């Protein structure tokens, strides 16, 4: 199943040998990003083989008109997608008049790619024999600067191997790009200005409809054997294209290099300014530093990120590489600096899912960012939803809800719903609960209550109002029911009383009521402001409580488990192990109706509830539910195995936990789902982190205290991770027989390990035997 | 709500006065068809205002590539649609060099349209003042011949009112036409040959992908004051167009006429022949008869149709006009001559629903055709499905069924599924039962058992196999359940144990098992052939029976009713009368999820089962179910009111029955749903017929006998209809106090009226008092 064409090393991803079939997969794997922009690992030079071009600017999207077979009332008009942006990496190369194109070369030898995760750069080297029999050695190194996040840098070296050569570099910008994914072949970009002079070039373009103004820029210089050649390039420009041309005769053994700075400035970050002027300022900063210094700063920035977020694994290099790849990609995608941005399921590595925000952020990503960054980052992710509250209220209104009830969209860019499958868009409403849960989770972890009176409570009120209205009273059951939903298991649609949804709904109301009281008691001004704004009355809250108190939960007395939904036990309960492997994955082999009436679970559903609300249930209850639902779970979502891994670990089923972990950690590197060429599974990467930290490490926060319950897979010698907990950084090193704790910072803290209190003091390692 | 711009007369539809806003509605209402082709009532002359052009050839369709938002496994690749075909009715007209165009005329006076249903023709008359102030009187009469069903005829008269004029006619053919409904703007037609000479013109074109070869043809001649002018027209042709030009000076008071024959020949009906040659033969036949004789034959053909199928209503001219309009349109759409054709929901009057076949045919249309035509017509409709059996088996295979299980498509042209909404395509599987029921119904009505051993039994076996596999055993219920279906009420999706579906499934298996026995006993050769072909074993049949015997039916002990589906009683049971009218129709006002969790029923569901299997339930049971479900029924399908009308009549709730009847009979004439411009609701028109014959007349067939239970709405003086029953034609005239029966043919038969036997003898009317 796995391609496994990549070399396992602890800090790098390495591909060796040129295989045209793997170009698109590698374009995903070797993607670069710096939070503000990102790009697939497309070649700089011309490539006429199969390629999937992608360069993306955070927050720059296009509302592509919805395409449906049959329109349903309430469908959104558009699907926002982050667009393939103008190309700034392009460098055409001719050798003695022959274009360099790996698709047409007579020979390509010693081809390799390296993604250096430790230092944050990407390098490609190869030796090529061109159709005209000229032989060159190429080394191209590229990075997207964390220090100057509007800038990327390339150094492209061509060495003449066995003869004198004439080498021509043509660095260019191109806004004549398209999206692979387009519903109606709309034109996405409008180019308004082409500017080229000296060794600089600029293309100003804005996105149609959304009118995001951008400037794509470049600046280049030539070096011979490392010495700058003061040479003015020849400028050319077309409608959607600007280029420079450098021609140079070099002798056998010489290396001619092109250094290119490029990137984007976006009006969003420079309101009212001329973007070409801004771009020139940005280029000046890059030029002043120079390529090498900028690269040094890149290494330094990544060292700082790793210092906090690295996980080491000894004794399993593939696992080590896998977890670092996950952490690296998460940091490439989102750094938490800007509360207008969020985390798309594919990050900057592809077009699928449109780069939009899903509940993945709240359920999977926030724990990672809370523990490995300062708390402002998670707060920014919460604020993102606060900023969208009004849109969530409007979204609920479109579906018939009133009185400020808020339904957050399933998929969104600017707060408006973008998805258009009724069973998801209208019915997968549990997403609303994940957003409330994240507010609770943030407070539980950081101890920062301030977010709730400032912003969170308004969000909670909107969500509580939604659940109150969405539940209806069943005369027959004399309980409140929630009909017609899709739970986290998207392999059941339009079911009644999905336990997870009902449980979340009840919890949301209760939590909101508690926070109302707490804000009332402790933050009088905020309370008054919020009640005034939301026109909340005690009577309304009493109505909510009635719904929460009388919520219905499907339960089987016989099996002693909560039922995933009302009809679950009517299904033919054949477990996954009795399902012929030829029928899997069922989402490729079965028609939708067959999937729906099967008992197979795409991703944790009841167990997702047990994950969120672990402390509401005993270990015995967890075991019963895990043993009941795990055998029906097909894990056909990348978000599935991590929850099962955490729970298996908790139940001390370490072999199983390790199996689930493996499935998630190298999902993309080993192309488990045979789709890596579409892009990487960014949000599920946070789940991998959780599998180690919460699963194996047993990290939890309760009563303002960090808890651990460390376990270690048999195969590993040791592993370590760090947790940024309320100003202290706790380092946890788990070995087969013991766990070592250390702490940095000035203060001591008390944690619990295996239920016992342990005091951690700066400068002193403490070892707790297992 | 109703536009009611049409004059009520018993035999004609009449529009008076020219209103540009109504052009598209009238284009639907005044549509013509002859079973082989049909057309919207587009103007012959140029019209630059809003128009919806439509000319259709039966069975000539294009497989338009499926458009979906999110692809689900199992979706069909295409949606077949009957296409707008090359235009043969066009006649450009110039008066003193000025084009006649009702959109630009200075004045249009005395404008009227008449659709003469009795004689089968359509006429338009008006007086126009052109922009150049020339004044003409126009009369255009058009019909699609039943006698020569490849031919249509037009006579277009222009009279000079107050000055001498030069009139130019340009009759033409045009294959440069488009569809309003196109998923991807494909080119649908490919024109291969343009041929014009003398007064004839031909365009050969075939449909892309399906390669249906057609020839569109015309022939024209000029008349002055009724006398043929021997005048050779000037021919012109373009890529996709041929025309003739006739110029003539006429004096004030003169009438210049153009007679044009046109139409289509299709390769399907002339295998291996040259279609231009065939078209010339067809034109020769038309020419030999001449316009007047062909029109006389048209009147005669329609007289024959009316002789059998007319329903008269005395004392309510709107009801009279309504029912005749329904009967007229059904006959225009389908005459039952060709078992390769079927009845599209919009017939030849628009593009919606693609002109494809739905379960409407079996559930609603077959009873009409059985009673008003010879039995071959209904047999042809059954044979249509027999011909598609292999495709239905393949369709089931795509959804994971095996062993010859057949699932007939929801929407089809050639037997392949064309629909692509998972909740319909994969889950509205009750359609399979309607196809089996039609086999039963045909035999019950006609007494012709031969269809079952010849063809029907194979269809039944495929259907029984489907139900056997589709049901699954619920350990919890210890019964067979059918999970994840959509019943006739499409306002519930993916429900479990839709009572109607489960009941039909059980019935299908039982009926199939009975027929197996009967064919085994009485048609040994057929039995051997079928068992050989289907590889059916006794063991397999025993398995079917087990499913039928242990089928689960949701039932409420408290309400004493069968439940529409497992979850029905958990809904908020607010009746339609308590639903604010501003919220209706809910399919326009509510989002889909809200509709799904509401108790509102789009069309008869449990009650559809009570309609099909009336004799399985007592009148008390019917009343209980009618009283339970009717209050939740919103009748937002055109197929809904007729079943409720029939049942209300049976329950002697005549006022209610009449209300439902009104809603169906003038649905299009009064544009109840404000969508008549899209085309007419052809298949629901058969429901209107059922409302009178089965509802008011109480006509049934049981034990090889015709039964009546006549009732009459208070408002009517009388009504009458005829039933073609096994070679006898029984005429039933219902008056307020009595019902009169008469019979034509040679034989006497015994019927039952109000449970009493009545012997009907040829030549003797019998009156039964109420």
Average pLDDT, chain B: 95
At A344-361, the pLDDT tens digits run 989 999 988 777 899 999
Using an 8 Å CB-CB cutoff, list chain A residues near B596: 483-484, 494
Helix, strand, coil abundance in chain A, percent, nearest 5: 35, 25, 35
Question: Is 60 exceeded by the pLDDT of residue A3?
Answer: no
Using an 8 Å CB-CB cutoff, list chain B residues near A473: 572
At B546-603, the pLDDT tens digits run 999 999 999 999 999 999 999 999 999 999 999 999 999 999 999 999 999 999 999 9
Sequence ranges of the domains in chain B: 30-308
Within 103-122 of B, beta carbons closer than 8 Å to A belong to none
**Confidence band of B372 (pLDDT split at 50, 70, 90):** very high
Shortest CA distance from B493: residue in chain A: A494
Chain A: give the shortest CA distance to residue B451, in Å: 33
At A27-41, the pLDDT tens digits run 999 999 999 999 999
Question: Is 50 exceeded by the pLDDT of residue A610?
Answer: yes
pLDDT of residue B1: 33
At A399-429, the pLDDT tens digits run 999 999 999 999 999 999 999 899 999 999 9
- Take residue B338 and report the two structure tokens written for it: 């060709």
Point out the residue among B69, B399, B571 whose CB comes nearest to the CB of A593: B399
Question: Kind and range of the H or E element at A61?
Answer: strand A61-65
Does any CB of chain B come closer than 8 Å to the CB of residue A590?
yes
In degrees rounded to 5, what are phi and psi of residue B45?
Answer: -80, 165
Q: Which range among A100-104, B450-454, B665-669 shows the weakest confidence by mean pLDDT?
A: B665-669
Shortest CA distance from A472: residue in chain B: B572
CATH number of this structure's domain A6-309, picked from the four choices 3.40.50.2000, 3.40.605.10, 1.10.3720.10, 2.70.98.40: 2.70.98.40
Strand partners, B692: none
In degrees rounded to 5, what are phi and psi of residue A669?
Answer: -60, -40
Q: How far apart are CA B295 and CA A418, in angstroms?
A: 58
In angstroms, how far is CA B365 from the centroid of its own chain? 7
Q: CB-based contacts of A476: which residues, under 8 Å, 6+ apart? A: B569, B570
At A518-531, the pLDDT tens digits run 999 999 999 999 99
Point out the residue among A73, A423, A494 whose CB comes nearest to the CB of B590: A73
Please tell me whether residue B350 adopts helix, strand or coil conformation: coil
Q: How far apart are CA A740 and CA A730, in angstroms?
A: 10
pLDDT of residue B66: 82
Q: At what angle do helices A524-534 and A457-470 cross, to 10 degrees?
A: 40
Chain A: give the shortest CA distance to residue B627, in Å: 19
Contact between B482 and B509 (Cβ < 8 Å): no
Distances (CA, A) of B268 to A42, B274, B338, B354: 53, 12, 11, 20
- Take residue B238 and report the two structure tokens written for it: 């373009």
Strand partners, A556: A561
User: Residue A422 and residue B593: Cβ atoms within 8 Å?
Assistant: yes
Using an 8 Å CB-CB cutoff, list chain A residues near B398: 591
Chain A: give the shortest CA distance to residue B332, in Å: 29
Q: What is the mean pLDDT of residues B294-299?
A: 98
Using an 8 Å CB-CB cutoff, list chain A residues near B70: 420-421
Dihedral sign computed on CA atoms, order A553, A559, A564, A567: negative
**Confidence band of A497 (pLDDT split at 50, 70, 90):** very high
User: Residue A588 and residue B475: Cβ atoms within 8 Å?
Assistant: no
In angstroms, how far is CA B707 from the centroid of its own chain? 27
pLDDT of residue A356: 86
Within 285-304 of A, beta carbons closer than 8 Å to B belong to none
Using an 8 Å CB-CB cutoff, list chain A residues near B420: 69-70
Question: Is 80 exceeded by the pLDDT of residue A705?
Answer: yes
User: Residue A475 and residue B569: Cβ atoms within 8 Å?
Assistant: yes
CATH number of this structure's domain A374-634, picked from the four choices 1.50.10.10, 1.10.3720.10, 3.40.50.410, 1.10.287.110: 1.50.10.10
How many Cα atoms sit within 13 Å of A316 on the Cβ side?
22
Within 324-343 of A, beta carbons closer than 8 Å to B belong to none
Point out the residue among A67, A399, A567 whose CB comes nearest to the CB of B593: A399
Within 137-176 of B, beta carbons closer than 8 Å to A belong to none
Q: When comparing pLDDT for B749 and B663, which is higher?
A: B749
Using an 8 Å CB-CB cutoff, list chain A residues near B422: 592-593
pLDDT of residue B2: 39
Using an 8 Å CB-CB cutoff, list chain B residues near A420: 69-70
User: Residue A596 and residue B484: Cβ atoms within 8 Å?
Assistant: yes
Taking alpha carbons only, the member of B311, B340, B427, B377 closest to residue B688 is: B311
Does any CB of chain A come closer than 8 Å to the CB of residue B598?
no
Taking alpha carbons only, the member of B19, B16, B35 closest to residue B123 is: B16
Mutate to test the interface with A, among B572, B593, B594 (most CBs of A within 10 A): B593
Shortest CA distance from A398: residue in chain B: B591
Using an 8 Å CB-CB cutoff, list chain A residues near B73: 587-592
Chain B: give the shortest CA distance to residue A399, in Å: 5
Q: Are strands B121-129 and A200-207 parallel, antiparallel or unpaired?
A: unpaired
Q: Which fold has domain B30-308?
A: Beta-galactosidase; Chain A, domain 5 (2.70.98)
- Take residue A506 and report the two structure tokens written for it: 């009840």
pLDDT of residue B121: 98
At A368-401, the pLDDT tens digits run 999 999 999 999 999 999 999 999 999 999 999 9
Using an 8 Å CB-CB cutoff, list chain B residues near A569: 474-476
Q: What is the mean pLDDT of residues A241-258?
A: 97
Question: Is 80 exceeded by the pLDDT of residue A23?
Answer: yes
Contact between A664 and A672 (Cβ < 8 Å): no
Does any CB of chain A come closer than 8 Å to the CB of residue B473?
yes
Question: Is 50 exceeded by the pLDDT of residue A1?
Answer: no
Per the rule left: phi > 0, alpha: psi between -120 and 50, beta: everything else, B59 is: left
Mutate to test the interface with A, among B400, B564, B570 (most CBs of A within 10 A): B570
User: Residue B70 and residue A421: Cβ atoms within 8 Å?
Assistant: yes
Q: Which residue has the tokens 């009979």?
A: B665
The residues of A annotated as belonging to the active site are 490
**Confidence band of A2 (pLDDT split at 50, 70, 90):** very low
Q: Which range among A570-574, A657-661, A673-677, A718-722 shows the weakest confidence by mean pLDDT?
A: A673-677
**Confidence band of A241 (pLDDT split at 50, 70, 90):** very high
**Confidence band of A638 (pLDDT split at 50, 70, 90):** confident
Within 364-403 of A, beta carbons closer than 8 Å to B belong to 398-400
Using an 8 Å CB-CB cutoff, list chain A residues near B569: 474-476
Point out the residue among B398, B472, B597 whose CB comes nearest to the CB of A572: B472
Chain B: give the shortest CA distance to residue A577, in Å: 19
Q: When comparing pLDDT for A586 and B231, which is higher?
A: A586
Using an 8 Å CB-CB cutoff, list chain A residues near B494: 423, 493-495, 596
Does any CB of chain B come closer than 8 Å to the CB of residue A542?
no
Does any CB of chain B come closer than 8 Å to the CB of residue A592?
yes
Q: Which residue has the tokens 């710096």?
A: A34
Mutate to test the interface with A, among B69, B417, B474 (most CBs of A within 10 A): B69
pTM metric for this prediction: 0.94
Does any CB of chain A come closer than 8 Å to the CB of residue B590?
yes
User: Residue A591 and residue B399: Cβ atoms within 8 Å?
Assistant: yes
Q: At what angle do helices B538-549 and B457-470 cross, to 10 degrees?
A: 60
Using an 8 Å CB-CB cutoff, list chain B residues near A67: 67-69
Does any CB of chain A come closer than 8 Å to the CB of residue B232?
no
Contact between B430 and B504 (Cβ < 8 Å): yes
Within 413-432 of B, beta carbons closer than 8 Å to A belong to 420-423, 426-427
Q: What is the mean pLDDT of residues B276-295?
A: 98
Does any CB of chain B come closer than 8 Å to the CB of residue A758?
no
Chain A: give the shortest CA distance to residue B590, in Å: 7
* Count of beta carbons in the 10 Å neighbourhood of residue A435: 26
Question: Is 70 exceeded by the pLDDT of residue B133?
Answer: yes
User: Residue B69 and residue A69: Cβ atoms within 8 Å?
Assistant: yes
Taking alpha carbons only, the member of B164, B19, B41, B166 closest to residue B93 is: B166
Buried-exposed string B251-277: b where 16+ CB fall within 10 A, e elsewhere: eeebbbbbbbbbbbbbbbbbeeeebbe
Q: What is the mean pLDDT of residues A88-111?
A: 97
């Amino acid at each position: 199943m796995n391609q496994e064409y990549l070399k396992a090393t602890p800090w790098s991803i390495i591909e060796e040998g040129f295989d045209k079939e793997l170009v698109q997969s590698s374009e995903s794997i070797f993607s670069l990003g710096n939070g503000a922009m990102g790009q697939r690992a497309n070649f700089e030079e011309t490539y006429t083989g199969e390629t999937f071009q992608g360069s993306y600017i955070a927050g720059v999207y296009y509302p592509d008109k919805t395409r449906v077979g049959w329109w349903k009332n309430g469908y959104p008009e558009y699907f926002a997608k982050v667009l393939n942006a103008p190309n700034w990496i392009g460098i055409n190369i001719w050798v003695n008049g022959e274009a360099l194109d790996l698709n047409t070369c007579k020979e390509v030898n010693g081809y390799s790619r390296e993604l250096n995760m430790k230092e944050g750069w990407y390098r490609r080297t190869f030796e090529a024999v061109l159709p005209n029999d000229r032989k060159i050695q190429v080394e191209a190194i590229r990075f997207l600067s964390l220090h100057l996040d509007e800038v990327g840098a390339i150094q492209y070296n061509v060495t003449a191997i066995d003869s004198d050569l004439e080498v021509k570099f043509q660095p260019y910008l191109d806004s004549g790009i398209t999206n692979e994914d387009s519903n109606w072949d709309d034109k996405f970009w409008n180019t308004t200005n082409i500017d080229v002079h000296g060794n600089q070039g600029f293309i100003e373009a804005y996105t149609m409809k959304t009118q995001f103004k951008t400037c794509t820029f470049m600046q280049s210089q030539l070096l011979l054997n490392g010495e700058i050649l003061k040479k003015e390039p020849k400028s050319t420009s077309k409608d959607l294209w600007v280029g420079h041309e450098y021609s140079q005769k070099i002798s056998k053994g010489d290396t001619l290099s092109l250094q290119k700075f490029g990137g984007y400035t976006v009006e969003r970050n420079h309101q009212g300014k001329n973007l070409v002027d801004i771009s020139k300022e940005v280029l000046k900063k890059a030029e002043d530093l120079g390529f090498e210094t900028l690269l040094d700063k890149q290494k330094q920035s990544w060292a700082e990120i790793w210092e906090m977020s690295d996980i080491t694994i000894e004794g399993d290099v593939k696992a080590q590489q896998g977890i670092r790849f996950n952490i690296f990609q998460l940091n490439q995608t989102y750094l938490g600096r800007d509360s207008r941005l969020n985390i798309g399921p594919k990050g900057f590595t592809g077009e699928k899912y449109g780069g939009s925000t899903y509940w993945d952020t709240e359920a999977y990503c926030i724990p990672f960012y809370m523990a490995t960054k300062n708390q402002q980052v998670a707060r920014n992710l919460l604020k993102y939803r606060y900023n969208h509250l009004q849109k969530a209220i409007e979204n609920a209104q479109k579906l018939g809800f009133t009185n400020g009830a808020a339904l957050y969209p399933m998929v969104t860019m600017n707060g408006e719903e973008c998805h258009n499958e009724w069973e998801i868009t209208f019915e997968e409403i549990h997403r609303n609960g994940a957003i409330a849960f994240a507010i609770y989770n943030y407070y539980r972890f950081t101890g920062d209550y301030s977010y709730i009176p400032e912003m969170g409570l308004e969000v909670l009120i909107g969500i509580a109002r939604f659940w109150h209205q969405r539940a209806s009273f069943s005369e027959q059951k004399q309980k409140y029911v929630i009909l017609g939903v899709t739970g986290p298991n998207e392999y059941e649609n339009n079911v009644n009383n999905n336990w997870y949804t009902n449980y979340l709904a009840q919890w949301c109301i209760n939590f909101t009521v508690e926070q109302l009281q707490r804000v009332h008691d402790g933050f009088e001004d905020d309370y008054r402001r919020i009640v005034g704004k939301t026109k909340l009355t005690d009577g309304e809250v009493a109505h909510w409580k009635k719904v929460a108190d009388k919520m219905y939960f499907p339960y089987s007395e016989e099996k002693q488990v909560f039922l995933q939904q009302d009809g679950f036990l009517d299904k033919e309960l054949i477990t996954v192990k009795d399902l012929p492997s030829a029928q899997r994955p069922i989402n490729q082999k079965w028609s939708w109706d067959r999937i729906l009436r099967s008992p197979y679970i795409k991703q944790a559903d009841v167990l997702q509830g047990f994950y969120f609300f672990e402390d509401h249930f005993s270990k015995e209850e967890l075991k019963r539910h895990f043993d009941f639902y795990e055998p029906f779970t097909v894990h056909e979502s990348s978000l599935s195995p991590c929850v099962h891994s955490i729970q298996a670990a908790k139940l001390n089923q370490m072999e199983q936990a390790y199996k689930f972990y493996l499935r998630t950690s190298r999902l993309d590197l080993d192309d488990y789902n045979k789709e890596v060429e579409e892009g990487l599974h960014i949000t599920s990467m946070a789940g991998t982190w959780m599998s180690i930290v919460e699963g194996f490490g047993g990290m939890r926060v309760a009563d303002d205290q960090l808890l651990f319950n460390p376990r270690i897979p048999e195969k590993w010698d040791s592993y370590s991770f760090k947790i940024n907990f309320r100003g202290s950084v706790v380092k946890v090193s788990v070995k087969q027989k013991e766990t070592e704790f250390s702490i940095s910072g000035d203060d001591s803290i008390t944690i619990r390990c295996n239920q016992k209190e342990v005091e951690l003091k700066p400068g002193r390692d403490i070892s707790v035997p297992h």
